[in-house]
Amino acid sequence: MSEKIFLCSICNINSGTCNEDCKFCSQSVRYKADIIRYKKKPIDAILKEAITARDNGALGFCLVTADKGLNDKTLEFVCSVAHAVQEVAPELRLIACNGTATLEQLLVLKEAGIKAYNHNLETSKEFYAEICTTHPWSERYETCENVNKAGIVLISGGIFGLGETQEDRISMLQSLHSLNPTSVPINFYHHNEALELQPNSLSVDEALQLIKLTREMIPHAERIMVAGGRELMFGTRQTEIFAHGANSIVIGNYLTTNGREMSKDLEMLSNLGFEVAKKVQ
């Protein structure tokens, strides 16, 4: 039996309006990156993306808002989108990614049909203050704990290539391991010239070793997902991520950067002899 690869699609239902100062993020209003910004993506556009994702084999569909965290208005918007998506594409497993969240807010999302919550630690607790000064790493960790308390599936990972040391990477992976996430999305920093951060200097071989390290250090995670930066980081060597421990990828576009056509990823998986997962294990 061939290994099954879990496909996830992300939908930026609110874009580029965040006041935080995460140095890797083009969605912060502070850096004036040349991206499309909007408060609420029209529901028709969201539903179209959901149907396209489902038709291309995605099982996860993630509703992302660009903000530090949930407030009443955002929570209401995410819940209304969740209800609408379930009407047109009940096969999709809904994920929310809305920043800092309390236990109470997470329980509201759960009631609205959200099955999993994505909140990344991003980097190590030691390095975090170098990349963000407007909120502490501990707030990220606490939100992940709240997700576990709410009985929602925790998706938590981070970004490599921010200028962190190998010790930082190991520290982040240890912290992630302590949270027992079901899925660990790993991103590779995709430079935007509006950001002051230096471009990601990882080589392809180093990046592949980081996928392997993630798999080894978080052995109980059901999925190691290669998310943002895949095409840019690995180029023609993307096929090698699976041999290094990845069993999930994001298909389609990312939050502010384009991915490649979904059909190309499906073709790649088929050529490698993988099946697309039709249900969560």
Entry field: residues in the chain: 281
- Residue placing its CB nearer to ligand SF4 in the complex, 30 or 212: 30
Write down the least CB distance from residue 1 to ligand SF4, Å.
38
Dist. CA 195–CA 31, nearest whole Å: 6
Contact present, 68 and 28 (Cβ < 8 Å): no
User: What count of other Cβ atoms lies within 10 Å of the Cβ of residue 220?
Assistant: 8
Q: Is 54 helix (H, G, I), strand (E, B) or coil?
A: helix
Q: Tokens representing 129?
A: 């203050």
Query: Which of these ranges, 18-26, 32-40, 50-58, 198-206, lies near ligand SF4 under the rule CB under 6 A?
Result: 18-26
Any contact of residue 227 with ligand SF4 (CB under 6 A)? no
Pairing of strands 183-188, 223-226: parallel
- Residue placing its CB nearer to ligand SF4 in the complex, 68 or 110: 68
Dist. CA 37–CA 27, nearest whole Å: 8
- Residue placing its CB nearer to ligand SF4 in the complex, 118 or 238: 118
Any contact of residue 40 with ligand SF4 (CB under 6 A)? no
Write down the least CB distance from residue 189 to ligand SF4, Å.
12
DSSP line for 233-262: HHGGGGGGGTTTT--EEE-S--SSS----H
CB-neighbour burial class of residue 217 (10 A; exposed 0-12, middle 13-18, buried 19+): middle
Q: Which residues contact 72 (CB under 8 A, 6 or more apart)?
A: none
DSSP 8-state assignment for residue 103? H
Dist. CA 194–CA 106, nearest whole Å: 33
- Phi-psi region for residue 250, left (φ > 0), alpha (ψ -120 to 50) or beta? beta
**CB-hemisphere CA count at 13 Å for 72?**
0
User: In degrees rounded to 5, what are phi and psi of residue 27?
Assistant: -85, -5
- Residue placing its CB nearer to ligand SF4 in the complex, 54 or 119: 119
Write down the least CB distance from residue 154 to ligand SF4, Å.
17
Binding mask 76-105 for ligand SF4 (x = CB under 6 A): -----------------------x------
Write down the least CB distance from residue 68 to ligand SF4, Å.
5
Query: Which of these ranges, 22-30, 39-47, 196-204, 273-281, lies near ligand SF4 under the rule CB under 6 A?
Result: 22-30
Stretch 49-78 residues interacting with ligand SF4 (CB under 6 A): 66, 68
Query: Which of these ranges, 24-32, 35-43, 136-144, 208-216, lies near ligand SF4 under the rule CB under 6 A?
Result: 24-32
Any contact of residue 22 with ligand SF4 (CB under 6 A)? yes
Among 18, 116, 150, 250, which residue sits at the site for ligand SF4 (rule: CB under 6 A)?
A: 18
Write down the least CB distance from residue 190 to ligand SF4, Å.
13
- Residue placing its CB nearer to ligand SF4 in the complex, 24 or 61: 24
- Residue placing its CB nearer to ligand SF4 in the complex, 168 or 265: 168
Give the binding site for ligand SF4 (CB under 6 A): 18, 20, 22, 25, 27-28, 66, 68, 99
